Amino acid sequence: MDEEVEATCDAGSGLFAAAHTRTSQSAQTHFVDQHVLHILLGFAGVGATFAGFSGVVAVFGRRAHGEWLPEDLFRLRNLMFMSLGVCLLAFAPLVLMTWHFLEARTWALASLLLGLGSIVYLLAARAASLRLRRDRPGLMPTWASTAFIAALSVAAILQFLNIVGLFVDRGAGPYLAGLLLLLCIAAMQFAFLVIRPLSAVASDSSST
């Protein structure tokens, strides 16, 4: 009788321990640092703001009448893709965590999405930039193209390191740095779209 009671107690203890382990693992899968969460939501907000302002850019100067220059269209596409990409990718790790992935795997998968997107867009934008340089030489600053390529390349490399866990621990750091680089590209495209028409207006005023 005592042996049966002891066996029952052991079985109950084992079930309790298993349930506690599952609860702990579940808590770990859903856990996200509040500081990281605030940064992700902040990035999403800034990306949405840039995307919204790209519509305002479309009404500046001659572009209000559909007279878009090729370099302006190229920059507007960059602005839209970068800002909307940041806005969507900021929510990727939060969505993945609802699928009960472990934290390290969540950030690795999110980095995979960001890294692949950066490489694909870099190749596409590079081909478009070369066509512009050939058709309209001197209108695309070399330093801006270099900064564009460097930012996307560094973003992709950081995501690769985060995926394989090389030099860095799998986590939010490389992913957040990649999103920040995309926002920097969007800000640079927005600045070019705004400054160029203002410079043209200033030169017209001075000439008159």
Given a cut of 70, is residue 185 above it in pLDDT? yes
Give the angle 145-146-150 at the CA atoms, nearest 5°: 120
Given a cut of 90, is residue 7 above it in pLDDT? no
Is 58 domain-assigned? Answer: yes
**Can you tell me which residue has the tokens 């621990």?**
169
Closest C-alpha among 186, 175, 187, 158 to residue 89: 175
Tens of pLDDT, residue by residue over 52-98, are 776 666 555 555 555 677 777 888 888 888 988 999 999 999 888 88
Is 132 domain-assigned? Answer: yes
- Note the pLDDT of residue 201: 42
Given a cut of 80, is residue 189 above it in pLDDT? yes
Tens of pLDDT, residue by residue over 129-139, are 888 878 777 66
Same domain, 15 and 77: no
How far apart are the C-alpha atoms of 152 and 81, rounded to whole Å?
13
Range with the poorest average pLDDT among 10-14, 182-186, 187-191: 10-14
How far apart are the C-alpha atoms of 195 and 27, rounded to whole Å?
49
Same domain, 110 and 158: yes
Provide the number of structural domains found in the chain: 2
Tens of pLDDT, residue by residue over 14-65, are 433 443 444 444 444 456 678 888 888 888 888 888 877 766 665 555 555 5
Whole-structure pTM value: 0.74
Give me the domain span that covers residue 22.
1-30
